[in-house]
Amino acid sequence: AAQASDLVRAGDVLTITLERRIFVWKVLGTGSRRGPAEEARLLYEDMSPPPVPKGEAVPDAIPALRDAGSGRPTKKERRETDRLLGGD
């Protein structure tokens, strides 16, 4: 597994999550100096998936539906849900 301290080389693909967004960048080269952002953008290729439009939920993040005003499930209800989902 890669670590934050590993060196980045040309050809590496970086996957970064930041504030519910996913960025995928392919490193094209390393800079010889610290310079302006326009120069830095030439050093990577953005392969990120398109962002999810505002107001649309990510399919994996859809919460379970409950009747309005029913509150949190009781311990008994949680156990029944666990049994139903195979959690024992």
Q: What is the pLDDT of residue 41?
A: 92
* Sheet order of strands, 13-18 included: 13-18, 21-27, 44-46
| pLDDT for residue 42 | 94
Give the pLDDT of residue 60: 63
Query: What pLDDT is recorded for position 51?
Result: 78
pLDDT tens readout for residues 19-75 = 878 899 999 998 889 999 999 999 999 999 887 777 665 566 566 676 776 788 889
Domain edges within the chain: 1-49
